[in-house]
Amino acid sequence: MTPSENTMRALFLDYRRADPAQHRVGIVVLLLSCALAVALGIHYRNMEVQAARLEALVAKVEQKLHPGRSLAQPTAANMRQTDAELKSANEVIMQLSLPWSELFNALEEANSSNIALLGLEPNARKGLVRVSGEAKNSAAMFAYIRLLQANKSMSTVYLKHQQVQEHDPEKPIRFTLDASWT
C-alpha cells in the first residue's frame, strides 16, 4: 500500500441545500393558502352583509304584519352583549356585597410598624384575598400571619411566597399570603 491509498478523501455534507422543486412547491402552496384565506374572508363579509340586509327586511315585514309590536327583537349579538353586561353587573354586585369593612378591620388590627402592606387582590367569587407585603424580618412576618389567623373574620391564612430582598441593606422579606374571609 502506498501512502496515497491510506489517506481518506474529505467528505462534504451540505444539509442546507434544498431541492429547488420542493422550494417551488412550498411557495405555491403558501400562495394558494393565502388566496384561499382572502377569498374566505371576502365571502364571510359578504354573508355578514347579506344577513344584516335580510334581518332588516324581516323587521320591515314584521312591522307591516304586526304594526303594534315593537321593532326591538333581540338578535344574537344583542343577546351576547346583554349577557356580558349582566355578568359584569353581577360581578359588581358581588364585589359590593362583600364584607369589606370586616376585611379592612382585620388587616388594620394585625397592622404593626414592622409590616408594610404593598397590595390587596380580592377574589370575590372564591372569598379570598391575596395580601402582598414587606416585613422587617421573618419573626415580624410570622407574627403578622398569626394575628390574621387569630382574627375571627379570617380563616385559612397561609403563606404563599416569601423572598429576602438581598439588594436592600436592611434585607426585608417580601411576602404574599392568601386568606379566606367570611
The label of the residue with cell 408594610 reads 116
Cα angle, residue 16 at apex, residues 13 and 18 outer, rounded to 5°: 110
Write out the three cell numbers for 28: 405555491
The span from the CA of 96 to the CA of 109, in Å, is 22
- Look at 32-46, 54-68, 70-84, 163-177 and tell me which has the smallest mean pLDDT: 70-84
Domain final residue, candidates 31, 62, 94: 94
Give the pLDDT mean for 137-149: 92
Greater pLDDT, 13 or 166: 166
pLDDT at 133: 93
Closest CA to 36 of 24, 28, 25: 28
Domain count, the chain: 2
Whether residue 49 is contained in a domain is answered as yes
pTM of the entire predicted model? 0.51
Q: Where are the alpha helices (DSSP H) in 7-135?
A: 20-65, 76-96, 100-109
The span from the CA of 160 to the CA of 178, in Å, is 6
pLDDT at 3: 58
Would you say 165 and 173 are in contact if contact means Cβ atoms under 8 Å apart?
yes
How confident is residue 87, by pLDDT bands cut at 50, 70 and 90?
A: confident
> By percentage, how much of the chain surpasses pLDDT 70?
88
Greater pLDDT, 5 or 84: 84
Would you say 100 and 153 are in contact if contact means Cβ atoms under 8 Å apart?
no
Q: What is the pLDDT of residues 15-68, one digit of tens each?
A: 666 677 777 887 888 888 889 888 988 999 999 999 999 999 988 888 888 887
Same domain, 128 and 82: no
Whether residue 15 is contained in a domain is answered as no
Q: What is the pLDDT of residues 94-108, one digit of tens each?
A: 777 777 788 888 888
Domain final residue, candidates 53, 70, 94: 94
DSSP code of residue 144: H
The CATH number assigned to the domain holding 146 equals: 3.30.1360.100
Whether residue 11 is contained in a domain is answered as no
Same domain, 110 and 176: yes
Give the pLDDT mean for 151-160: 87
pLDDT at 9: 82
The span from the CA of 98 to the CA of 106, in Å, is 14
How confident is residue 69, by pLDDT bands cut at 50, 70 and 90?
A: low
